[in-house]
């Protein structure tokens, strides 16, 4: 079997995003775009991933520092186009005898399954290059797939270089390809910046490969959503919406009830157990874990680092952050629980809060099992409440007060 590597293009300036942040670090349902593309590559098996960085290179490298064991960072000093970006990998890959996947860091919606199909087609057809195509209602901005009268692909023409007839073509290039590496690098040598933008286009390498008589195949009509490239904030929101739909679909398949998917937002990193019900207007942000049989919302805000064990009820207008709620906790109305460990079966009364920030630092609150916290209590951290303690409604509780309270040790 041929060895396979991947090249991810992530050096672009992203002027249309109007941003100082490198485009591939913009988040889609809580994760940077590039993370999804890396996932897709890894899931089809690649021995190394060459990530081409340029604009904001240091930021990109830093963000992925802890998951870069298989990444080779390649610098593209000037952004002279997608073909030029691939050429920058030449010093590593010039003589590599294997398959090279090329993907764009701004295409987070690529699915592993589609890449797998691409690989299978490439291998069974003994193709020199295999691309995907998609049919879009509005192909504006994308490279158009140009075919001859027999339906054979002749090449790809970028939107800005299209004739009116070409512009009307709705079959576009989603921009992921699998190449015979040697064929790719030989073709790149012939790519010239003969276009409106004066850039070296990777799409022209395909035309060269076709023109020199190599076999080029296509996986046609992949799902339109898998062609969405993020060049603007508007496209970022489109990609986010589609990804959100995927996140929720998967959760529902795993036995989670989402009462009103349109009015619910769940981070891609969240984990939710079977038979938990997510009521409308719930926002789950960051790494949040929710166990089985919980009821969350409506109107709840769950932030990074929160854990709900099983059978927890978190009701209306409750916010939790970096907090663990053990089995059976009830916090039904208007609470803020930050940086806390709340024990089993604790009842948190309406409007009770942890005062976790003293103006200088964040402090923790620990509430033992079976405590009862009356409505409107303020738990002033740092605070440890013994198991079984009862806090009356409207009480301010500091550690000194807690020492005087009863409890079970
Ligand atoms: C590209 C394709 C187009 C396709 C579309 C799909 C080319 C010439 N065009 O267009 O056919 O329909 O994607 O979304 O390939 N990049 C670099 N270095 C560069 C230039 C770009 O690393 O010098 C990276 C960008 O960061 C980006 C990716 O390559 O992640 C694609 O570049 P972009 O400028 O977004 O290309 P499109 O115009 O979207
Ligand atoms: Ca793009």
Averaged pLDDT, 91-113: 97
Residue 221 has a pLDDT of 86
Catalytic residue, from 84, 92, 333, 334: name it. Answer: 333
Residue 21 has a pLDDT of 95
Residue 13 has a pLDDT of 84
Atom 29, ligand 1: residue with shortest CA distance: 9
User: Is 84 an active-site residue?
Assistant: no
What tens digit of pLDDT does each residue of 171-199 get?
A: 999 999 999 999 999 999 999 999 999 99
Spell out the alpha helix ranges (H) of 125-259: 164-167, 181-188, 202-211, 233-253
Averaged pLDDT, 69-91: 97
Residue 280 has a pLDDT of 98
What tens digit of pLDDT does each residue of 217-255 get?
A: 999 989 999 999 999 999 999 999 999 999 999 999 999
User: How far, in Å, CA of 356 to CA of 171, rounded?
Assistant: 55
Q: How confident is the model at residue 407 (pLDDT cuts 50, 70, 90)?
A: low
Residue 402 has a pLDDT of 87
Q: Which residues neighbour ligand 2 (ion) by CB within 5 Å?
A: 106, 229, 231
pTM for this model (two decimals) = 0.95
| DSSP code string of 247-290 | HHHHHHHTT-EES-GGG-EE-TT-EE-TT-EE-SS-EE-SS-EE
Cβ burial of 376 (10 Å; 0-12, 13-18, 19+) is middle
- Compute the distance from residue 203 Cα to the ligand 1 centre, in Å: 10
Strand order in the sheet with 144-147: 134-135, 171-172, 144-147, 153-157
What tens digit of pLDDT does each residue of 267-324 get?
A: 999 999 999 999 999 999 999 999 999 999 999 999 999 999 999 999 999 999 999 9
Altogether, the residues listed in the chain come to a count of: 409
Averaged pLDDT, 212-217: 96
Residue 404 has a pLDDT of 85
Atom of ligand 1 nearest to the CA of 76: 18
User: How far, in Å, CA of 111 to CA of 219, rounded?
Assistant: 13
């Amino acid at each position: 079997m041929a060895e396979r590597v991947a090249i991810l293009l992530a050096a672009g300036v992203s002027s249309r995003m109007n941003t100082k942040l490198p485009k591939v670090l913009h988040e889609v349902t809580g994760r940077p775009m590039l993370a999804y593309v890396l996932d897709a590559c890894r899931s089809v098996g690649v021995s190394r991933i060459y990530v081409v960085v340029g604009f904001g290179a240091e930021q990109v490298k830093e963000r992925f520092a802890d998951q870069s064991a298989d990444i080779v960072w390649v610098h593209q000093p000037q952004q002279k186009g997608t073909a030029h970006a691939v050429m920058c990998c030449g010093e590593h890959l010039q003589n590599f005898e294997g398959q090279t996947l090329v993907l764009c860091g701004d295409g987070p919606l690529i699915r592993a399954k589609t890449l797998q199909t691409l690989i299978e087609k490439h291998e069974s057809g003994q193709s020199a290059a295999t691309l995907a195509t998609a049919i879009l209602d509005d192909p504006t901005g994308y490279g158009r797939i140009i075919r001859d009268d027999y339906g054979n692909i002749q090449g790809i023409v970028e939107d800005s270089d299209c004739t009116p007839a070409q512009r009307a073509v709705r079959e576009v290039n989603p921009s992921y390809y699998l190449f015979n590496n040697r064929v790719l690098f030989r073709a790149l040598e012939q790519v010239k910046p003969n276009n409106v933008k004066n850039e070296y286009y990777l799409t022209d390498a395909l035309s060269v490969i076709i023109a020199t008589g190599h076999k080029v195949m296509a996986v046609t009509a992949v799902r339109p959503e898998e062609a969405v490239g993020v060049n603007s904030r508007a496209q970022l929101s489109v990609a986010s919406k589609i990804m959100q739909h995927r996140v929720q679909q998967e959760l529902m398949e795993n036995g989670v009830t989402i009462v009103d998917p349109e009015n619910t937002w769940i981070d891609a990193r969240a984990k939710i157990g079977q038979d938990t019900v997510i009521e409308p207007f719930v926002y789950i942000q960051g790494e949040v874990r929710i166990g089985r049989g919980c009821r969350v919302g409506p109107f709840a805000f769950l932030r990074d680092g929160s854990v709900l064990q099983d059978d927890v009820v978190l009701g209306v207008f409750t916010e939790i952050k970096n907090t663990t709620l053990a089995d059976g906790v009830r916090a039904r109305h208007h609470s803020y629980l930050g940086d806390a460990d709340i024990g089993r079966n604790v009842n948190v009364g309406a409007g009770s809060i942890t005062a976790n920030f003293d103006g200088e630092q964040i402090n923790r609150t620990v509430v033992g099992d079976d405590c009862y916290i009356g409505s409107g209590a303020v738990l002033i951290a740092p605070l440890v409440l013994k198991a079984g303690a009862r806090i009356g409604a409207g009480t301010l509780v500091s550690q000194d007060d807690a020492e005087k309270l009863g409890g079970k040790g």
